[in-house]
Amino acid sequence: MVISYSQSGQLDEIVANITRPLSGKVAVVHEKLVPVPDFPFPWKDISFWDAMPESVQMIPSQLKPLSIDPNVHFDLLILAYPIWFLSPPIPLTTFLKSETAKEILNGKPVLTVIGSRNMWVNAQEDIKKMIAENGGQLKGNISLRDRHNNLLSVVTIIYWMISGKKERYLGIFPKPGISDKDIAAAERFGQPISDAIAAGSFENLHKELLKLKSVELDPAIISIEQKGKRLFKIWSRFILRKGGAGSAKREARLKLFKWYLLFVIFAVSPIATILFYLTYPLFFWRINRNLKYYRGIKLR
């Protein structure tokens, strides 16, 4: 069973490629989460930023009822999701905080599939906790990302989200999102999944996926993400004091957050990256310990 949320359709392509080798061997049921009301795509400018507080604080909203019977047996659950503001997307949070999720996940092996710009480890930590709270057993993770320079990918992802066009921006910026090559190559992960299902054992699934480079990490990006997550939590609480999603009263704070974030990304993060590499030898062991942990699937 695949349960996913893909606003732009990019994640649907990834999931289709991952599950293609299962065709004819395994019955795959795909359930797509549909928010009520649905989030717009492309986003209107303020609605994009308005999703931040609820995403970061993991405040659930509403979903259309799932069409699947939670009592139907399945061998593996694949949870596929993008990243919103270094956090799980609201629709997936809503599902994982529901009673239906408890019925579906309890005692079941789970594989997560992530499509992100380049920062996903904090969101995955939140997802790990919610999987465990629902009685699920995380057995593997696949994370695909935009490989372009961090600052370039900020420009292109915002352009894509606001315009709905996955194309080169102004003819000089690279195509946004995960590359077509990486999306197509995701098919390689299907065989280990098929083998695990056939064997009836998922204990070695993540190890086999890692051999195929299912998780690739940049320590400097993780460092920036950790600092960003702390700031997002502060800003989300500050904005929520002016009301919930869609409240006109919080629009001024959302605009303030928007310009603050862009300033930090383009003016502060390059300096932070330089400082990270200058101090890397001092924190070598801690950095490598964290890299090992984030490649894995266990909770601390």
pLDDT at residue 34 in the model: 96
> Domain segments of the chain: what residues?
2-220+291-295
Q: How far lies 227's CA from each of 145, 221, 231, in Å? A: 20, 10, 7
Number of Cβ within 10 Å of residue 170's Cβ equals 7
pTM over 0.85: yes
What are the backbone angles phi and psi of residue 28, rounded to the nearest 5°?
-110, 120
Let me know: does 155 contact 109? Beta carbons within 8 Å: no
**Within 10 A of 19 (CB to CB), how many other CB atoms are there?**
22
What's the average model confidence in pLDDT over 28-37? Answer: 95
Tell me the torsion sign for CA atoms 235, 241, 244, 248.
Answer: negative
For residue 45, pLDDT beyond 80: no
Q: What is the third-level CATH fold of 2-220+291-295?
A: Rossmann fold (3.40.50)
Residue 129 contacts residue 94 (beta carbons within 8 Å): no
Tens digit of each residue's pLDDT (9 = 90 or more) over 205-251: 999 999 999 999 999 999 999 999 999 999 999 999 999 999 999 99
Q: List the strands of the sheet with 137-145, edge to edge.
A: 30-32, 2-4, 77-82, 109-116, 137-145
pLDDT digits (tens, 9 = 90+) for 119-178: 999 999 999 999 999 999 999 999 999 999 999 999 999 999 999 999 888 778 899 999
